[in-house]
Copies of this chain bind each other. A is one copy, B any other.
Amino acid sequence: MIALTTRIPKPTLERLPLYHRAVESYLAKDQEAISSQELGREIGVDDYQVRKDLSWLGAGGRPGYGYEARHLLERFEEVLGLKRDHTAVVIGAGHLGTALSHYSGFRRYGLRILALFDRDPNKVGKQLGDIPILDIGELGSIIKEQHVPLAIITVPAPEAQRVVNLAVEAGIKAIWNFAPASIQVPPEIIVRNEDLAVGLATLSHYIVYGRPSD
């Protein structure tokens, strides 16, 4: 096994979860070998790009056979950090924050939500299952004491930057932003903006103009 490098290019990294999902579905159908052409069709890149992407993981296919699905799956899990547990806080105990705290799709990625934070005194002090809702004033100390790496932002857009600043000051490493607002952070902080409107835009085209050719 090669040493894991942090030099995987961002576009490649963003495709890894898609490869991961595709390989999982092949394995679910008991397909043990996958060609770069098949993988490329699944995620919409050509087979040259697939081979280039997978070479970053030290995964090599065999001519006439393809990639071993199980080996690929292991490499994805390692590179995507899926075998480790992660903790996170959710900022904003509204509907989206509550929904994400319950989202069962996160479990297989080992994500554990430690707490929700809100400023509404009617919410603070309550529990959401086994997750406490805490006052936003406690955010900094919880992030610091528990070394929480990830903050999930679900506050209304005008409040997003303020709570992001609080999390950054407390030493957060990564921000997952669901607020439809663009946020500014120091360069060392990782940000992922989850723009649900992107999915809608694609569907919108299909609805208006019909299904595209694949």
Measured CB to CB, the residues of A under 8 A from B are: 4, 6-11, 13-14, 16-18, 20-21, 25, 44-45, 79-82, 84, 86, 94-96, 98-100, 102-106, 108-111, 149-150, 154, 156-157, 173-174, 176, 180, 182, 188, 190, 192, 194-214
Contacts and interface: CB of A to CB of B under 8 A. Distances in A.
Given A6-B212, A109-B197, A213-B7, A203 B176 contact: yes
A89 to B, nearest CB: 13
Nearest to A108: B197
Contacts of A203: 150, 174, 176, 190, 192
Contacts of A110: 204
Copies of this chain present in the complex amount to 2
B7 A212 contact: yes
Contact of A14 (B16, B44, B95, B104): B44
A146 B17 CA distance: 37
B17 A202 contact: yes
A194 B199 contact: yes
Contacts of A81: 201, 204-205, 207-209
Given A14-B44, A104-B157, A212-B13, A21 B207 contact: no
Contacts of A106: 196-197, 200
